[in-house]
Structure 1
Amino acid sequence: MTARSIRAVTAATLAGALAMTAAACSKPGGSAGSSDGAKDSAVVGIAYEPESLSPLLGYGKDGNSKIFDGLLAFDGDMKLRPALAAELPKVSADGLTYTYKLRQGVKFSDGLPFSAKDVVFTYETILDKSTNNAAKTELDAVKSVKAEGDSTVVFTLKYPYAPFAERTVLPIAPEHIAGKQDVNNGAFTTRPIGTGPYVLTKWTKGDKLSFKANPDYWGGAPAVKKFTMAIIKDDDVRATRLRSGDLDGAILPPNLAKAVQAENKKRETYAAKSFDYRTVTLPTHNKVAGDPAVRRALDVAVDRQAMVDKILEGAGKPAYGPVPTDSPWFAKGTERTHDLAGAKKILDDAGWKPGDDGIRVKDGVRAEFPLWYLSGDKLRQDHALAYASDAKKAGIDIKTQAGTWEVVEPRMKTDAVLAGGGSPGDPDFDQYTLLKSSLGGDGFNNMAWYDNKAVDTALEAGRRTNKDAERKAAYTAVQQELVKNPGYTFLTHIDHLYVVNDTWDGLSTQVEPHDHGLASGPWWNVEDWKPKK
């Protein structure tokens, strides 16, 4: 979970198409004017908005940025494939050197050529201390990146970092443009130029991202010529606009997806497995939430399966940490069973005694704290309310409150937050930024200010070796420590649901990160869609 990743920095990624005219907005995906009336445009509804469109600041770092390409990309099965690289990298026997041969003839959308110098510029700029990229710890292993001519790039690592190749899906920025601007505030952050299949035409903040197809894209010009991502933070509004015909597709919570699908058989529902979790931060600096006994009690007081059944309508599974239970990295035996009696005993033994109103008190401190959730996010609201209800049964009074991230962020040091995160692939990707003590207070990294030296040691061990057995042991140790002192109460892992008009062929889903809709969805490969005849 990187800074702003809870809502969008890794807001990581996809984007969408040309600014629509008034007519196109009322009839999204209107006729291309061809003889067969094929559609050449689509409008989809997403829940999150990026803060920046610059990969130098974290945009698109997990892949699928339609403006940019990385050296590598993920296919539909989440296997790495070449993108700006002509082939997969050659890795030295000691795991310290990665050599990439670059694809020839690639141009940025302004017509200037892509070369090795752009790769070097991108990585060196991200690693520069003056660059405000909250995800730079993800590239901590990089010692140097050097160009060998125009078509070869060599990365040298400080230590053998097993998932390094997966980090090179990071989009490449043009040195000739971004290198001449203030990296943190220049025009490139909102008007980017890349090598990707789509070109940004307009970004109306709070409203939509508009793109057009790149006719000179090295992978072939997309059939979807215009693709717009409407930014609609409220779940109910997104559903209403899909019903009304304003949208061709949208991400929806399970109950709304089911209802919208049932109303119109010409829509398809796409379910995507994900690493996306919902969790409650338990701030170390809160006298109640920071108490290990309270944390352990909440961990067993919560009824995760009920949340899956009632809130997600079965579209997900209980979460006991950032690693899903069906992942090979999950530590068996760290599941927590719903046990209200056990929660009460933990609190009793720790000196938290029920008051006259049933709420516990210890040393004059009442067992209560606020829990914030994002305004308009029905899933977070429902999770927050269910969590507070379960906590109250154990004698802990949690006050749920809605707010924007601008309201919530300054309060995160002492107030709990119904947060989200999750990144497919390697366990280092999410656990390090979520749990590393040195990242407490670093934006949306380690939101709970979690501080556990054993976890810190295991996280470093896990990322500094490429030996599977050693890595497995390290991440098992992390998960076991979270049982002893859970700085977060993990609730559910969520399957993402998308409802889309049945107009195009080629739609599919990947295993998805937390930043759903923007980074993923059935439109992760929109450049490959073809109109149905």
Structure 2
Amino acid sequence: MLGACSSPSSSAKEQGKHISFLYNFSTNSLDPHVDSSYVPIRAGITETLVRLDEDNLTVAPWLAESWEGTDGQNWKIKLRDNVTFQNGKPMTGDAVKASLDRAMTESIAVKNALKIKSIQADGNTLQIVTTQPFPEFISELVNPNTSIIDVTETDVVNKPVGTGPFLLSSFTPGSKLEVKRYDGYWDGASPLDGVTFAFNEDANARSLALRSGQVDIVYRPEIESLDTLNAEPGIKVESTSTFRVHQLTMNMERPALQDVNVRRAMDALIDRQKIVDTILLGHGEAATGPFLPSLPFAPTYEPSPLGADAAVDYLQQAGYSLVNGQMQKDGKPLQLTLLTYPARADLPLIAQVFQSDAKKIGIQVEIRQIDTPEDYMAANRDWDLATYSNLTAPRGDAGYYLNATYHPDGALNFSGAEDPKLTAIIDQLNRTVEPEKRAVLAERAADYVHDNVINSFVLHPSTIVAYNEEKVKNWITTRSEYYMITNKLDVM
């Protein structure tokens, strides 16, 4: 039953100080420039030029020591000295340029996000020119898909060579990877000898693996098991608010959903607080928009009409009526396909609640399970709705989510949104430097999404991590969900 939760090998245990970590998403590729699970950075193999300071919601130096770009288009980035890749080669300006060039070649999403026109390397300094004034350019370099690797290595998919505190020793696609300490790490070698980073999408199996002692840290254990885990001697459960939202993505290319009143009806059917209370057992908060209310650019809204009666009213405005128990228009029943995926255990449950509530007003919803939502939704348009979970401010700014999700060039624009008014607001945001003005534009964009129900926002889940507190030392549950296996992680 445990699958990838099998105990670390005896050789792993014999190598000294070791931690076994169990994650909820599997991956078949460790190419950091395209891997949507961000495993290389989470496992401590790769690093980016800058990182998010989660306490201050600012961008902090990492592989880059400093940067300047007062006009928002011409950027000078000073790299740290004495950084080496895990094969011993120095991290030079040329090597970083080659890595960024590869990231933009391999990923159209990275290319669109960075908007780089040219890169010139001079020793440990990069001169970068963007295609337009882009004040938030540096924050885009927080993206794990911009991780710096040695591109001269031949097998990036199975053995990327980065600058992080751990180098890859083995990788079994879809199952696990083993990493060991890189003694030449620029920020101080890890006290650990190695880490097993395993995958299992079954939340119950993850919880059982921790209780049985097969693993030391579990990311997102089964929520129903939290009371049991809390009662176990030596197990600590942490629940931390993050920059994530669970949303109902609307496929705007589907005829029925092109009517805003149909989208409003879908939104009205979502009983957010009930879902938080019953599915998340209170580990989250109901969402009215994509951003946590505590963020400075998060708008506040008057409550909208919700419930079955409100949904029926919206559908009647769209020309639908209930006939023989079916919601119909022009003799055709309203039938919807709803995508969901098991790696986030609460999403299929949310889908089932939505399906049940829709059935009560005569809407037939077919739930379709998929494995990799980003790949499926990008390649297929044979669906109407999707439960999806998205980081909305992992870089401390609204620009990432708005560009990725609602700009026509956005990597996560699965709704197919292409609204000139909204695009214009986002483009203006991209050109604006002053934080106060950016916050106003971000609110305006979020208001437009809200008023037009381009997507529907369900809840902000807490990130839950459980671990053996009698063994694990210096674990931090981060809000961005990027930084997990670090050189500070240790055992007692």
The verdict on a shared fold, with TM-score over 0.5 as the criterion, is: yes
- Residue 208 of structure 1 deviates from its aligned partner by 0.5
Q: How does 1:265-414 map to 2 (within 5 A)?
A: 265-333=233-301, 336=304, 338-357=306-325, 359-375=326-342, 377-405=344-372, 408-409=376-377, 411-414=380-383
Distance, in Å, in 2 between the alignment partners of 1:361 and 1:135 is: 43
Which residue of the partner structure matches residue 137 of structure 1? Answer: 112
Q: TM-score, normalised by structure 2?
A: 0.89
Bigger shift: residues 332-341 or 242-251? 332-341
Structure 2: which 5+ runs fail to align? Answer: 1-5
Which residue of the partner structure matches residue 227 of structure 1? Answer: 195
- Residue 217 of structure 1 deviates from its aligned partner by 0.8
Which residue of the partner structure matches residue 3 of structure 2? Answer: none
The 1:245–1:495 alpha-carbon spacing in structure 2 relative to 1, beyond 3 Å, is same
Secondary structure of the corresponding residue to residue 136 of structure 1: helix
Preserved CA contact (<8 Å) 2:68 2:76: yes
Which residue of the partner structure matches residue 59 of structure 2? Answer: 80
Distance, in Å, in 2 between the alignment partners of 1:57 and 1:405 is: 13
Which residue of the partner structure matches residue 491 of structure 1? Answer: 458
Distance, in Å, in 1 between the alignment partners of 2:187 and 2:490 is: 15
Bigger shift: residues 337-346 or 456-465? 337-346
Distance, in Å, in 1 between the alignment partners of 2:30 and 2:282 is: 35
Which residue of the partner structure matches residue 432 of structure 1? Answer: 403
Which residue of the partner structure matches residue 125 of structure 1? Answer: 102
- Residue 175 of structure 1 deviates from its aligned partner by 4.2
Preserved CA contact (<8 Å) 1:44 1:247: yes
For 1:492, give the aligned amino acid. Answer: L
Offset from partner CA, 1:273-308 (integer Å, 9 cap, x none):
212222222222323334321101121221111111
Distance, in Å, in 1 between the alignment partners of 2:9 and 2:104 is: 43
Offset from partner CA, 1:491-511 (integer Å, 9 cap, x none):
111111010001132122221
For 2:413, give the aligned amino acid. Answer: N
The 1:252–1:403 alpha-carbon spacing in structure 2 relative to 1, beyond 3 Å, is same
Distance, in Å, in 2 between the alignment partners of 1:264 and 1:273 is: 23
The 1:382–1:333 alpha-carbon spacing in structure 2 relative to 1, beyond 3 Å, is same
Distance, in Å, in 2 between the alignment partners of 1:351 and 1:112 is: 66
Distance, in Å, in 2 between the alignment partners of 1:255 and 1:172 is: 36
Secondary structure of the corresponding residue to residue 55 of structure 1: coil
For 2:291, give the aligned amino acid. Answer: V
Offset from partner CA, 1:135-163 (integer Å, 9 cap, x none):
322102x2322112x12122223333232
Distance, in Å, in 2 between the alignment partners of 1:111 and 1:137 is: 32
- Residue 211 of structure 1 deviates from its aligned partner by 0.6
Preserved CA contact (<8 Å) 2:104 2:110: no
- Residue 243 of structure 1 deviates from its aligned partner by 1.9
Q: How does 1:39-78 map to 2 (within 5 A)?
A: 40-57=17-34, 60=38, 64=42, 66-75=44-53, 77=55, 78=57
The 1:234–1:530 alpha-carbon spacing in structure 2 relative to 1, beyond 3 Å, is closer
The 1:62–1:202 alpha-carbon spacing in structure 2 relative to 1, beyond 3 Å, is closer
Bigger shift: residues 285-294 or 360-369? 285-294
Distance, in Å, in 1 between the alignment partners of 2:188 and 2:158 is: 25
Distance, in Å, in 2 between the alignment partners of 1:481 and 1:134 is: 23
Distance, in Å, in 1 between the alignment partners of 2:7 and 2:352 is: 39
Which residue of the partner structure matches residue 160 of structure 1? Answer: 133
Which residue of the partner structure matches residue 475 of structure 2? Answer: 507
- Residue 227 of structure 1 deviates from its aligned partner by 0.7
Report the aligned-residue RMSD. Answer: 2.7
The 1:250–1:335 alpha-carbon spacing in structure 2 relative to 1, beyond 3 Å, is farther
Alignment partner for residue 212 of structure 2, among 244, 269, 286? 244
Secondary structure of the corresponding residue to residue 474 of structure 1: helix
Secondary structure of the corresponding residue to residue 152 of structure 2: helix
Distance, in Å, in 1 between the alignment partners of 2:130 and 2:369 is: 44
Alignment partner for residue 419 of structure 1, among 388, 392, 406? 388
Distance, in Å, in 2 between the alignment partners of 1:368 and 1:464 is: 42
Distance, in Å, in 2 between the alignment partners of 1:233 and 1:360 is: 36
The 1:337–1:261 alpha-carbon spacing in structure 2 relative to 1, beyond 3 Å, is farther
Which residue of the partner structure matches residue 76 of structure 2? Answer: 99
Preserved CA contact (<8 Å) 2:247 2:456: yes
For 2:404, give the aligned amino acid. Answer: T
- Residue 52 of structure 1 deviates from its aligned partner by 3.2
Alignment partner for residue 449 of structure 1, among 416, 427, 447? 416
Percent identical residues: 23
The 1:64–1:252 alpha-carbon spacing in structure 2 relative to 1, beyond 3 Å, is closer
Distance, in Å, in 1 between the alignment partners of 2:72 and 2:317 is: 50
The 1:65–1:251 alpha-carbon spacing in structure 2 relative to 1, beyond 3 Å, is closer
For 1:436, give the aligned amino acid. Answer: H
Aligned residue pairs total 477
Structure 1: which 5+ runs fail to align? Answer: 1-18, 34-39, 182-186
2:120 corresponds to 1:146: yes
Distance, in Å, in 2 between the alignment partners of 1:438 and 1:175 is: 26
Offset from partner CA, 1:209-255 (integer Å, 9 cap, x none):
21111011111110121111111011112122222221111122562
For 1:144, give the aligned amino acid. Answer: S
